[in-house]
Amino acid sequence: MAGPRLNNRKEAGFSRRGFVGLLGAGTASVGLGTVGVTPAAAAAAAGATSTELPPPSSPAYWDAVRRLFLLDKKVLFMNVGTVGSPPREVLDTVDRVHREVAVGAVSAYSDFSDVRAVAARGYGCDPDEVTISHNTSDGMAKIMAGLALKEGDEILTTNHEHSGGNSPMAEARDRHGVVIKRVEMPVGNGQRAEDYVELFRKAITSRTKVMVFSAPTYKTGTMLPIQLLAKLAQDHGLISVVDGAHIPGMMAYNFNELGVDFLAGSAAKWQCGPGGTGVLYVRNKVRPRYNPNPLPEFWPVVSSGYPEAGLPARSSGATASYDMASKLQTIGNSSLAIMAGVANVCEVWDRIGRDRIQNHVLGLSGYLKELIVERWGVKSLYSPKDDPRLVCALTSFAPFRDPADVYDAAKTTAFVARLKDEYGIVIRTSDFPVIGSARSHQAVRVSTHLFHQKEDVERIVDAMWRLSGDMG
Ligand SMILES: Cc1ncc(COP(=O)(O)O)c(C=O)c1O
């Protein structure tokens, strides 16, 4: 059931022995008509003047990609899992449209169908299925608030979720009386994708209504197998919700092929869009190949586009009965500049090639894991390494030589601070429950992105090795 982009993903590979490298429609011009530009048109104009890249086979290619960004050269920024950095041309677009809007005092009451069309192309879905939200948390909240839940229904989730998902689940618990059940996540390199599916399968009961899981989990960078879990949900008639904060801009997934009902992601992390932007996918038609189940009841609770006469029934076939994303996107006056920035950054990613980006970032994280295993041993890794279905570009591991330090939050925080102060490298801490351990484990998390190269991975590994030696 996997679609071509998921299946044809080449094995990304960087190795010590050498680099084997891989590596709009409609209109949002409601206000902008007066200044003669739509967000997608603004983005296209920016693209026309952007820095040309050499051919991807050129050794200078990834250097040129790095130069698309303004990132401070004195710092090696490897915390993209928290926030990305927009390319220059996106900043120019946002700035220019902000100014045009200010000059013309232009309003933005729109469903931004042109921006959604650009995003839909990049994310492998239809424009009526993708909304530009405020961020992942906003998307998760809108999903959970829009579901028809009732007392006694169970939400099946994990013990490694982010507050962006945990908060709306807790609100649903208190509002509707639903029960939250959590699968305990194994960590490290010992699992295969099927193991996670089995854990969920065993936890499903006759009351389970929704499955909510992060892919990847932000704590250990475990890419829970979305298609397999979506199939499990389908087989049990469950609604599937993915906290995919890290998916846009990192993974080249065709969202429709994932087979899930909902996915909330960030457009400002790996996708490097303007701050305060996200991607909200809502399945809006029945595609028997990927998900033959009826569309779940769903209410776009934040909308100024909800029709007075109510909404028609959701589609039971291949054609949408109405544009769900338009209802979710229409929320009063918005920002033409920010929306133009989102369209622009999607075009930058499409120009480079989302498969190429995915291969590059996974190749770097694979190389990082290889070097970590060489120095610290495979037991230090909290991220999977060997099952390609579980990997992503987030790498979590325990950096200290003394195993007892895995419980030492203060020392781990000091490690991250010293790595920044003494080596100019920015990463973050990560803590999480581990099966069989009374106390949470304390790890560090490294993000490898398209503005990094093999040398950056070697630099951070050397720095972390020296620093962990210094800190005893
Ligand atoms: C898995 C996960 N979900 C949700 C969030 C919240 O993201 P946002 O700031 O886009 O709401 C994060 C942030 O790091 C995350 O890692």
Query: Cα of 416 to ligand 1 centre, how many Å?
Result: 20
Residue 3 has pLDDT above 60, yes or no: no
Residue 26 has pLDDT above 90, yes or no: no
Is residue 214 in contact with ligand 1, taking CB distance under 6 Å?
A: yes
Domains of the chain by range and CATH?
113-340 (3.40.640.10)
Amino acid 43: pLDDT? 60
Q: What is the CA radius of gyration of the chain?
A: 22
Q: How far is CA 46 from CA 65, 84, 363, in A?
A: 16, 20, 30
Amino acid 40: pLDDT? 72
Question: Are the beta carbons of 445 and 368 closer than 8 angstroms?
Answer: no
Q: Maximum CA pair distance of the chain? A: 68
Mean pLDDT of the region 345-367: 98
Residue 17 has pLDDT above 60, yes or no: no
List, for residues 413-458, the tens digit of each pLDDT value: 999 999 999 999 999 999 999 999 999 999 999 999 999 999 999 9
Query: Confidence band (pLDDT; 50, 70, 90) for 52?
Result: confident
Query: Which residue has 């995915």 as its token pair?
Result: 358
Question: Are the beta carbons of 241 and 109 closer than 8 angstroms?
Answer: no
DSSP single-letter state for residue 33: G
Torsion of CA 447, 450, 452, 458, to 10 degrees: 70
Give the DSSP H or E segment for 156: strand 154-158
Query: Cα of 49 to ligand 1 centre, how many Å?
Result: 32
Report d(CA 134, CA 426) in Å as an integer: 25
Residue 46 has pLDDT above 80, yes or no: no
List, for residues 64-100, the tens digit of each pLDDT value: 999 999 999 999 999 999 999 999 999 999 999 999 9
Amino acid 51: pLDDT? 64
Is residue 136 in contact with ligand 1, taking CB distance under 6 Å?
A: yes
Out of 137, 169, 247, 428, give the residue to mutate to test ligand 1, the one with the largest number of ligand atoms within 8 Å of its CB.
137
Residue 153, CA atoms < 13 Å, CB-side half-sphere: 20
Is residue 220 in contact with ligand 1, taking CB distance under 6 Å?
A: no
Give the DSSP H or E segment for 235: helix 226-235
Amino acid 45: pLDDT? 60
Is residue 162 in contact with ligand 1, taking CB distance under 6 Å?
A: yes
* Total length of the chain: 472
* Protein residue with least CA distance to atom 4, ligand 1: 164
In this structure, of 38-42, 63-67, 146-150, 197-201, the range with the lowest mean pLDDT score is 38-42
Q: How far is CA 233 from CA 45, 141, 314, in A?
A: 43, 20, 20
pTM summary value? 0.93
Amino acid 28: pLDDT? 40
Query: Cα of 16 to ligand 1 centre, how many Å?
Result: 33
Is residue 428 in contact with ligand 1, taking CB distance under 6 Å?
A: no
Residue 35 has pLDDT above 80, yes or no: no
Is residue 223 in contact with ligand 1, taking CB distance under 6 Å?
A: no
Is residue 265 in contact with ligand 1, taking CB distance under 6 Å?
A: no
Amino acid 37: pLDDT? 53
Q: How far is CA 121 from CA 158, 237, 280, 343, in A?
A: 31, 29, 14, 11
- Report the nearest atom of ligand 1 relative to the CA of 214: 1
In this structure, of 35-44, 59-68, 137-146, the range with the lowest mean pLDDT score is 35-44
